[in-house]
């Protein structure tokens, strides 16, 4: 395996890869830098990269003027809430499929995944009308319900693949040791699956945080999470680059950090196991 | 108490009947070993007793009460699994204490029992470790500890030694036997290794294709095998079988003679032959002798015998130790 | 471990998930199908009447539908082309020995975690704006006339933005596939005298085919539903120049309140997505067996 690689070759690869990496990352970096500029500097020509007077004023303005914290909190409640409820529904389901497989288990699993492939516009109108008539429009509850349902297949799928790796004998041992089904899941299965459950949680919080079809169509001012709040910068306020940047940075920073921790789970969760 | 009775028990997976109707009586305090080649249904039978599988029909009684429909948790049986099945996220103390916690025992009493079990099994110094930090033998002992703390009416062992290396296996075999002497609780032990069966069992159940071929003490099986299968399965090296003329001499379809019941001579005997492979173990010598028409015969003889490939020898069976079988393989 | 007892428990425990998903799929979808046969406008409630296939006829003969269909295909095709080719190249590059590989990887995948509305707005205002955008600055710096991306090449611009978001996904998955490449096989081929190029063509590419197929299928599912990027950048315009099927249905139903027409469009979108989904499900299903 190990073999000497010429330093020159390695240096070339390093240079090219870093150049491309920085280019791809640049829009995020630029947003981050702009968020510390004054509005005048943000649109200055030629633009300055680092040689500007750093200010955090934009952040305080965004926080003050726009109920930013409420939208942030909406995002947290909606993404975490839908994921946790999803997990509560999915853990028993995944237990069933992983440890008591029947002839139809595979079909059920595939069918669940197939619901994920239903395009949202196919059900936009009924959901909109049902929400309007039940008062769920522009409520966090409504969005939690929808996001739980659209991400449930991915949660079930991911947990299923993690549970499959736990040897059935351990659960049988628990049963022999006198554990009821409830105890078996609480004391044995769940603690053993904690890493898998955590990854599932992480990936789904990210997906729910960034979901931008239902959040845009089902909310107005009250329950709007950050996706919808940022969309309101579309015009003409978006021309205030520094403030747009500050709001954007706050909206994406936590999720990018979480995302970096979930690279592996991302592949697993979004390819449904088709790529290993 | 720990009596287990199987009455007309059957098990089918789909259309495949893996265990035809079977009856078996396990007495209190007995060490019973289910032995047979892989796929003979011995593990399935154990899992039926444990309640991890449903019987297709028939009755299982434990301590006289019908347990056929009881879930495993309510049968008061403890099981040691082949993979040990320890809980990797719990310390040794918590692993051993888990059944007590499930039974709702108070902490002080549970601690007392855990410590006692740990002492018996030499695990006292390891109580705060995780299973991942233990050696194979230690894990095995934790699995046993988890089984003994709750004082079940019977222990079930599913090939518990097959993941250990040879030396450790001999050790653990002794430890389990000693444990049985101390606890005097019923033990049901599944293995494919007839040496384990012979050395540990009070009663051996030989299974073949889901059918009980014979039930008996180790020496009964060794001395009076009921049929050719049991005769060949019990004993190592395996019994020699001969057909044709030598069998006809004894009015049988075939005869069997164990390697240790053949006398070896260099000058005279019943069956002449040529030494093929000679295995010198020190204590014994195993010879593979090509006796022409009778085929290859195994013989076990003393360690001092100095014979090698190509040497001419004569073999004589001990007539009192001959086993005679009819055409269907049953002992005559 | 399978007893009648645990089977019952299993059925019980899987049912909430099944019931919820079944409800989620069947109830709204059958409502959409039903609406698609009605003349139904939210502005004139109570006036619903059976319309047969009229909605479909209108929707499918509407020039906007044709434009939207073309745009959808261009959008999906363009993004796939960029991300698959770019992703393969990046995956091969990132698999080479280098310093700081982990950091480069982090930089490359970051865009995937940026919410669609943020990435669309950042690109629209800070890069593509004809007056203050970085591209305008760059054009001016080399003496060119600034180009108004979103007015003159709206679909191209959206393809660019969406590609930026999905390139990390393709790269990450293809990189994962690259890393499961059998090193000994590569060395054996080298012993057999295969050069770098032929090893890439005969070993690496076939190995990646499966991963590439998965990337194409999964991205297609998501790309058919691109919405937020269009909403905040162009609103589907100018005209219908950047309207895709999803946006058209949204505009028809929630901007023009034409529930019947929108529903018919929604069903058309479902059918299109299903064609892709069938292939994807087959692949996943095969993988479940092994």
Tokens of B27: 């007495």
pLDDT at A3 over 60: no
B244: in domain: yes
Together in a domain, B26 and B116: yes
Distances (CA, A) of C249 to A121, C47, C56: 7, 21, 12
The percentage of chain B sitting over the pLDDT mark of 90, rounded to a whole number, equals: 58
DSSP string, C168-234: HHHHHHHHHHHHTS-HHHHHHHHHTT--HHHHIIIIIHHHHHHHHHHHHHHHHHHHTT--HHHHHHT
How confident is residue A86, by pLDDT bands cut at 50, 70 and 90? very high
Q: Decide if A177 and B150 are in contact by the 8 Å CB cutoff.
A: yes
pLDDT at A79 over 60: yes
A200 closest CA partner among A246, A154, A235: A154
Together in a domain, B199 and B243: no
Q: Decide if A178 and B88 are in contact by the 8 Å CB cutoff.
A: no
Superfamily of domain C57-289: MetI-like (1.10.3720.10)
Q: What is the pLDDT of residues C60-84, one digit of tens each?
A: 888 888 899 899 999 999 999 999 9
B330: in domain: no
Together in a domain, B206 and B316: no
Tokens of B6: 């199987």
| CATH number (domain holding residue B223) | 3.40.50.300
Q: Decide if B81 and A169 are in contact by the 8 Å CB cutoff.
A: yes
The predicted pLDDT at position B306 comes to 84
Instruction: Decide if B251 contacts B240 (C-beta within 8 A).
Output: no
Alpha-carbon distance A252 to A249, whole Å? Answer: 5
B331: in domain: no
Please give the tally of structural domains in chain B.
2
Across B143-295, the runs of DSSP E, i.e. the strands, are 154-158, 186-191, 203-208, 211-216, 240-243, 254-257, 262-265, 271-280, 284-290
Together in a domain, B146 and B290: no
Long-range contacts of B234-238 (CB under 8 A, 24+ apart): B234/B194, B234/B197, B234/B198, B234/B204, B234/B206, B235/B194, B236/B194, B236/B195, B237/B286, B237/B298, B237/B300, B238/B298
Least reliable range by pLDDT among A170-174, B36-40, B320-324, C143-147: C143-147
Judged by DSSP in three states, B34 sits in: strand
Q: What backbone torsions phi and psi does residue B274 show, to the nearest 5 degrees? A: -120, 135
Domain boundaries, chain A: 7-59, 66-232
B175 closest CA partner among B154, B148, B146, B200: B200
pTM confidence score: 0.82
Mean pLDDT computed over A97-103? 86
Together in a domain, B110 and B126: yes
Distances (CA, A) of B215 to B175, B224, C120: 24, 11, 78
Any C CB within 8 A of A16 CB:
yes
Any B CB within 8 A of C5 CB:
yes
Q: Decide if B53 and C3 are in contact by the 8 Å CB cutoff.
A: yes
| Site of tokens 């954007």 | A248
Q: How many pairs of residues across A and B have Cβ atoms under 8 Å apart?
A: 65
Together in a domain, B33 and B118: yes
Q: What backbone torsions phi and psi does residue B242 show, to the nearest 5 degrees? A: -130, 145
Q: Decide if A167 and B87 are in contact by the 8 Å CB cutoff.
A: no
Instruction: Decide if C96 contacts C239 (C-beta within 8 A).
Output: no
pLDDT at B32 over 80: yes
B35: in domain: yes
List the single best residue of C1, C3, C9 to mutate versus B (max B Cβ within 10 A): C3
Together in a domain, B85 and B217: yes
Domain boundary among B193, B213, B230: B230
The predicted pLDDT at position A5 comes to 66
DSSP string, B268-300: --SEEEEEEEEEE-SSEEEEEEE-GGG-EEEEE
> Which of B50, B101, B103 comes nearest A176 by C-beta?
B50
Strand order, beta sheet including B271-280: B262-265, B312-317, B271-280, B284-290, B296-302
pLDDT at A1 over 50: no
Q: What ipTM was estimated for this complex?
A: 0.85
Q: Decide if B71 and C3 are in contact by the 8 Å CB cutoff.
A: yes
Tokens of A215: 């959040």
Domain boundaries, chain C: 57-289
- Close Cβ partners of B46 (under 8 Å, ≥ 6 residues apart): B34, B156, B158, B188, B190
Mean pLDDT computed over C143-172? 90
* DSSP secondary structure code for residue A95 in this structure: H
pLDDT at C1 over 50: no
Distances (CA, A) of B313 to B209, B264, B298, C84, C181: 39, 7, 13, 77, 60
Alpha-carbon distance A69 to C21, whole Å? Answer: 33
B70: in domain: yes
- Rounded to a whole number of angstroms, the distance between the first and last alpha carbons of chain B is 39
For residue B54, give its domain range. Answer: 4-230
The predicted pLDDT at position C162 comes to 96
Q: Decide if C227 and A212 are in contact by the 8 Å CB cutoff.
A: yes
Alpha-carbon distance A233 to A244, whole Å? Answer: 7
**Arch. (CATH architecture) of A66-232:** Orthogonal Bundle (1.10)
Most confident stretch, A109-123, A138-152, C58-72: A138-152
Q: What is the pLDDT of residues A213-229, one digit of tens each?
A: 999 888 888 888 888 88
Q: What is the pLDDT of residues B48-62, one digit of tens each?
A: 999 998 899 999 999
Q: How many pairs of residues across A and C have Cβ atoms under 8 Å apart?
A: 315
Judged by DSSP in three states, B102 sits in: helix
Pairing of the two strands B323-325 and B254-257:
antiparallel
The predicted pLDDT at position B129 comes to 93
Any C CB within 8 A of B131 CB:
no
More confident residue, B165 or C289: B165
Mean pLDDT computed over B233-243? 90
Work out the minimum CA distance from C88 to partner chain B, whole angstroms. 40
* DSSP secondary structure code for residue C144 in this structure: P
* Residues of chain C contacting A168 with CB distance shorter than 8 Å: 1
The mean pLDDT of chain B is 90
B203: in domain: yes
Mean pLDDT computed over B234-259? 89
- Close Cβ partners of A34 (under 8 Å, ≥ 6 residues apart): A42, A241, A242, A245, C126
More confident residue, B129 or A62: B129
Instruction: Decide if A169 contacts B82 (C-beta within 8 A).
Output: yes
Together in a domain, B243 and B258: yes
Any C CB within 8 A of B70 CB:
no
* DSSP secondary structure code for residue C125 in this structure: I
Mean pLDDT computed over C239-267? 87
Alpha-carbon distance A16 to C93, whole Å? Answer: 8
């Amino acid at each position: 395996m190990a073999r000497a690689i010429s330093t020159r070759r390695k240096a070339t690869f390093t240079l090219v890869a870093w150049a491309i990496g920085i280019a791809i990352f640049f829009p995020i970096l630029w947003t981050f830098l702009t968020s510390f500029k004054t509005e005048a500097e943000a649109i200055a020509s030629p633009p300055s990269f680092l040689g500007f007077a750093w200010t955090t004023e934009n952040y305080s303005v965004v926080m003050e003027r726009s109920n930013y914290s409420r939208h942030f909190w909406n995002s947290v409640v909606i993404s975490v809430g839908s994921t946790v409820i999803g997990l509560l529904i999915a853990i028993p389901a995944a237990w069933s499929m992983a440890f008591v497989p029947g002839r139809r288990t595979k079909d059920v699993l595939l069918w669940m995944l197939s619901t994920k492939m239903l395009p949202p516009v196919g059900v936009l109108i009924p959901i909109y009308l049902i929400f309007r008539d039940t008062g769920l429009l522009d409520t966090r509850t409504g969005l939690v319900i929808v996001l739980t349902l659209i991400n449930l297949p991915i949660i079930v799928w991911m947990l299923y693949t993690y549970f499959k790796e736990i040897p059935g004998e351990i659960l049988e041992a628990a049963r022999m040791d006198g554990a009821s089904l409830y105890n078996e899941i609480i004391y044995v299965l769940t603690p053993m699956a904690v890493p898998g459950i955590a990854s599932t949680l992480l990936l789904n919080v990210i997906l729910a945080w960034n979901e931008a079809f239902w959040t845009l169509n089902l909310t107005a001012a009250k329950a709007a999470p950050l996706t919808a709040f940022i969309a309101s910068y579309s015009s003409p306020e978006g021309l205030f680059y520094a403030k747009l940047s500050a709001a954007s940075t706050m909206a994406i920073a936590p999720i990018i950090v979480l995302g970096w921790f979930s690279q592996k789970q991302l592949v697993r969760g979004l390819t449904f196991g088709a790529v290993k | 108490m720990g009596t287990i009775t199987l009455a007309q028990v059957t098990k089918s997976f789909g259309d495949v009947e893996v265990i035809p109707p079977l009856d078996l009586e396990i007495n209190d305090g007995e060490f019973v070993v289910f032995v047979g080649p892989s796929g003979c249904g011995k593990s399935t039978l154990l899992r039926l007793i444990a309640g991890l599988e449903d019987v297709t029909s028939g009755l299982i009684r434990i301590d006289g009460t019908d347990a056929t429909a009881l879930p495993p948790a309510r049968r008061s049986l403890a099981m040691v699994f082949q993979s040990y099945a320890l809980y990797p996220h719990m310390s040794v103390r918590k692993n051993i204490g888990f059944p007590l916690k499930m039974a709702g025992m108070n902490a002080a009493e549970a601690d007392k029992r855990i410590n006692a079990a740990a002492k018996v099994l030499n695990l006292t110094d390891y109580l705060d470790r995780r299973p991942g930090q233990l050696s194979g033998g230690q894990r095995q002992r934790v699995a046993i500890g988890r089984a003994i703390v709750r004082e079940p009416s019977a222990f079930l062992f599913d090939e518990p030694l097959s993941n250990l290396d040879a030396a450790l296996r001999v050790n653990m075999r002794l430890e389990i036997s000693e444990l049985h002497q101390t606890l005097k609780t019923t033990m049901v032990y599944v293995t494919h290794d007839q040496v384990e069966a012979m050395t540990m069992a009070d009663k051996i159940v030989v299974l073949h294709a889901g059918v009980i071929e014979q039930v008996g003490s180790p020496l009964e099986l060794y001395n009076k095998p009921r049929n050719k299968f049991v005769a060949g399965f019990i004993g190592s090296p395996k019994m020699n079988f001969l057909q044709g003329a030598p069998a006809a001499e004894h009015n049988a379809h075939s005869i069997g003679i164990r390697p240790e019941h053949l006398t070896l001579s260099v000058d005279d005997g019943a069956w002449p032959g040529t030494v093929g492979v000679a295995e010198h173990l020190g204590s014994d010598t195993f010879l593979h002798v090509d006796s022409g028409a009778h085929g290859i015969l195994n013989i076990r003889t003393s360690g001092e015998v100095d014979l090698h490939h190509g040497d001419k020898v004569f073999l004589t069976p001990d007539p009192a130790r001959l086993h005679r079988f009819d055409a269907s393989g049953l002992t005559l | 471990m399978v007893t009648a007892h645990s089977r019952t428990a299993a059925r019980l425990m899987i049912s909430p998930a099944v019931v919820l998903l079944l409800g989620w799929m069947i109830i709204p979808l059958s409502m959409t199908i039903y609406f698609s046969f009605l003349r139904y406008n939210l502005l004139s409630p109570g006036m619903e009447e059976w319309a047969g296939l009229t909605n479909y006829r209108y929707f499918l003969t509407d020039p906007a539908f044709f434009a939207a269909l073309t745009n959808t295909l261009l959008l999906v095709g363009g993004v796939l082309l960029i991300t698959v080719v770019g992703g393969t190249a990046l995956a091969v590059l990132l698999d080479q020995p280098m310093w700081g590989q982990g950091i480069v990887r982090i930089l490359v995948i970051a865009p995937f975690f940026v919410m669609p509305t943020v990435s669309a707005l950042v690109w629209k205002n800070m890069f593509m704006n004809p007056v203050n955008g970085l591209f305008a600055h760059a054009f001016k710096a080399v003496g060119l006339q600034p180009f108004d991306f979103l007015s003159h090449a709206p679909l191209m611009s959206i393809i660019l933005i969406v590609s930026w978001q999905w390139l990390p996904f393709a790269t990450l998955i293809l990189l994962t596939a690259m890393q499961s490449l059998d090193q000994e096989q590569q060395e054996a081929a080298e012993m057999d005298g295969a050069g770098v190029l032929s090893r890439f063509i005969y070993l690496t590419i076939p190995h990646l085919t499966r991963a590439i197929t998965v990337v194409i299928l999964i991205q297609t599912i998501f790309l058919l539903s691109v919405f937020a990027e269009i909403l905040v950048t162009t609103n589907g315009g100018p005209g219908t120049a950047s309207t895709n099927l999803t946006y058209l249905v949204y505009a028809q139903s929630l901007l023009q309140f034409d529930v019947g027409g929108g529903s018919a469009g929604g069903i058309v979108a479902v059918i299109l997505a299903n064609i892709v989904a069938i292939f994807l499900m087959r692949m996943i299903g095969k993988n479940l067996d092994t």
